[in-house]
Amino acid sequence: MINKIDHVGIAVRSIDNALKLYTEVLGLKVESIEVSEEQKVKTAIMRLGESKIELLESTDPAGPVAKHIERKGEGLHHLAFEVDDIEAALRSLAEKGVPVVDAEPRAGVEASRIAFLHPRGARALLELVEHGKAVAQNKPLL
């Protein structure tokens, strides 16, 4: 069901400020920056081997990332796993009683489809990502 770790999501107050560490100090290169209006977030993606780091900045003070930062501060937000068939993965998890945030996939960044698993089941917020089947509904900035 799971192919690999797709990315690690890190909640930040400011992508511009956070990028100084990741690009200038750690030497990573920004692959893309997108705004997802549906998720109320701006993302910056940096590839690291087969996986990526995704910085998440809220575009709305009432958005989920802003609420996360308010409760827990900046830092690790979620771990994302790549899957080939997100619907099959969600069905399998439902059959096993795993609580989900998203019963149906939604549009993600980089023209992907995503669904989140509830932290009460996994002890962390987990995301499933299926690449290549969705038309991006987000606004690429870079």
* CA nearest to 109, candidates 48, 50, 40: 40
Domain at 24, CATH number: 3.10.180.10
Phi-psi region of 44 (alpha: psi -120 to 50; beta: other; left: phi over 0): beta
pLDDT digits (tens, 9 = 90+) for 41-83: 999 999 999 999 999 999 999 999 999 999 999 999 999 999 9
pTM of the model: 0.90
pLDDT value of residue 139: 58
The residue range of the domain holding 118 is 2-140
Number of structural domains (the chain) is: 1
Residue 122 — very low, low, confident or very high, per pLDDT cuts 50/70/90?
confident
The token pair at 120 is 């009460």
